[in-house]
Amino acid sequence: MTEKAGLRTDAWGQGAVSGDFDGDGFPDLYVTALGPNLLFRNNGDGTFTEIAASTGVAGNEWSIGAAFLDADDDGLADLFVANYIETTEAQIRSGERTRRWRGRVLVLDGPRGLPPAANRFYRADGGGGFLDETTVAGFATGPPRYSMGVAALDADGDGDPDLFVANDSAANALWRNDGGGFRDVGLLTGVALSADGATQGSMGVAAADADGDGFPDLAVTNFAHDHYAFYRGLATDLFLDDAVGAGIATATFAPLGWGAVFFDAENDGDLDLAFANGHLYPQVDEDPALGESYAQPDQLFLREGDGYRAGTFGRPERSSRGMALLDLEGDGDWEVAVSNQDAAPVLWRGRTVAPGGWIRFRLVDPIGERDGLGARVTLTSGAARRRAGQTSGGSYASDSERVLHFGLGDSDRPVSVEVRWRDGMVETWPDLAPRRTWILKRGAPAAPHGTLLFQ
């Protein structure tokens, strides 16, 4: 289908994010690459047309993560692209192994010592194209870092989307959106460094209010021989790396993490956590003393109390990179898709053990950004209230199905849902039956999925 859909490319692809940049109701696809990136416009008939250069978002860097967001509340999807190193394919292929990983096997050196590439912010111009407003929007302040994963989220609860950028071997950035202009508050808010005050080799990020306290939390995957970070949101604009307290530090010290997603794996009403793992260096297989392998198990941390219990998805173990969520079977539990280095992707099929109820929402905003990016959904089920935001990007170079999913535990009662749209307007839909996906279109009654999609 790739060929017929017009998606075949010779680019050295890195990642992808979907978004309805032209607001026509059909999801488009932005593909990051080493060299010019690609924007595939959805033609609405199952085919796509590549228009990155003509819309001004091709760039020419080594791009990894990307996220759509309506930064300035103009109803249009803007685009942020995380870039890694200034290099070329030829330089990468001719690179010599000069560094010893953990004093043993020889590997390629970097990224430290190599020139970092600047990130890009493309603002939608309202005419179907984009303007490179990296500098205007404030993203050029400070030196570039080696950026990887990116997640759009409302970190400070002010209703507009901020951006968390996971940086490799450099402080992570949290770009706070102040009316369409951004400034990095990573260090100020506590997400730049690990609890040890160290920069980590950050790769991917999962963002959600994992503990339901009203403040977003961030799980960040890191390089091997260092634990992943768990930035617990303590208050507005304040995080604490609590990987140890969350119970993920010990189990994540060995693996090298990339993709990361929060999701309710058991439909029991709390958010579990998954990581795609795989070493960067195939050479680790040559030295058993390292205790490492190129292929590594993808991890699943089930939430227990205020923390997590470590586990894995099982076999096969591959050197994984991207991780994304989708309900492929439409049965109310998530499948977890994992891309692998030099190996076929893996789809972890959701098989909820507990007979938990669930409900899912797909947002449609005919006034603002079509997918409702930046909207905040509050679900009331009995006495419980839970919130989730409509975001884009996240994980590592991946994007998940744009659906808000709530596990309901053993409840099968109707729920009420409130949506605060990106422009601040609030709508409520009461008495929605569980165990189905609802289309919540601004100004319209809720409709079961399948009847209003793409209207």
Partner 1 sequence: MIARPTVAATTALALFLAPAAAQTPEIRARMETALVHLAEGNEDAAVPLLLQVVDEAPFHGPARLQLGALAVTRSEWAVAGDHLRAALEATGEATPAGAVPVQRPGLAWALLAEALDGEGDLEGALEATGEALRFAPAFAPALLRRSDLARRLAGIHSSDGWTPSRIHHVETALEAAREAARLAPERPRPWRALSLAATAAQVEELARCAARRATEIAPADPAAWFLLARAARESDPEEALAAAESALAAGGDRDPALWMLLGELRAFRMDMSAALAAYAEALRLDPAAAGEMASPALDALAAGDDEELLVLLAERARRAAGAVNTRFTLARRALRLGRIEEAAGELRALAGIRPGHPAILTALHTALRRTGASGEADRVLARLEAVKAAESSAWARSNQRQQARAEARSALDRGDFVAAAAAWEALSADPDPADDPNRSDDFARLGQALAGLGRPARALAAFGDSLALRPFDPEVLAAAAEVAASAGHTEAAGRYSGRARLAAPECAPPSARL
Binding of residue 447 to partner 1 (CB under 8 A): no
Please identify, using beta-carbon distances, which residue of 319 and 400 lies nearer to partner 1: 319
Confirm if 45 and 35 have CB atoms less than 8 A apart.
no
Considering beta carbons, is residue 103 or 355 the nearer one to partner 1? 103
Q: Which residues ranging from 198 to 257 are in contact with partner 1 (CB under 8 A)?
A: 198-199, 225, 227, 234-235, 238, 240, 242, 244-245, 249-251, 253-254
Minimum separation from the CB atom of position 207 to partner 1 (A): 19
> 156: which 2 tokens?
């400070």
268-307 positions binding partner 1, by CB under 8 A: 288-292
Say whether residue 180 binds partner 1 (CB under 8 A): no
317 scored as a contact of partner 1 (CB under 8 A):
no
Cβ count near 120 (within 10 Å): 21
Contacting residue, 196, 286, 329, 431, with partner 1 by CB under 8 A: 196
The answer to whether residue 188 forms part of the interface with partner 1 (CB under 8 A) is yes
Question: Please, which residues have CB within 8 angstroms of residue 81's CB and are 6 or more apart in sequence?
Answer: 32, 37, 57, 59, 61, 63, 65, 66, 119, 120, 121, 122, 150
Query: Judging by DSSP bridges, how do beta strands 437-441 and 357-364 pair with one another?
Result: parallel
CB contact set of 258 (below 8 Å; sequence gap of 6+): 203, 204, 221, 275, 276, 277, 278, 320, 321, 322, 323, 396, 397
Distance of alpha carbon 342 from alpha carbon 318, whole angstroms: 9
Interatomic CA distance for residues 404 and 16, integer angstroms = 20
User: By C-beta, is 92 or 193 nearer to partner 1?
Assistant: 193
Residue 8 binds partner 1 (CB under 8 A): no
Region of residue 371 (left: phi > 0; alpha: psi -120 to 50; beta: else): alpha
Q: How far apart are CA 219 and CA 207, in angstroms?
A: 7
The least distance separating partner 1 from the CB of residue 261, rounded to whole angstroms, comes to 23
Q: Which of 308, 343, 347 is nearest to 324 (CA)?
A: 347
Distances (CA, A) of 287 to 7, 106, 109, 184, 393: 40, 11, 18, 41, 36
In the window 359-398, what residues touch partner 1 (CB under 8 A)?
none
Q: Which is nearer to partner 1, 244 or 347 (CB)?
A: 244
Binding positions for partner 1, 50-69, rule CB under 8 A: none
- Is residue 353 at the binding interface for partner 1, with CB under 8 A as the rule? no
Find the shortest distance in angstroms from Cβ 204 to partner 1: 20
Is 49 a residue that touches partner 1 (CB under 8 A)? no
Tell me: does residue 9 bind partner 1 (CB under 8 A).
no
Tell me which residues touch partner 1 (CB under 8 A). Answer: 98, 102-103, 112-113, 171, 187-188, 190, 193, 195-199, 225, 227, 234-235, 238, 240, 242, 244-245, 249-251, 253-254, 288-292
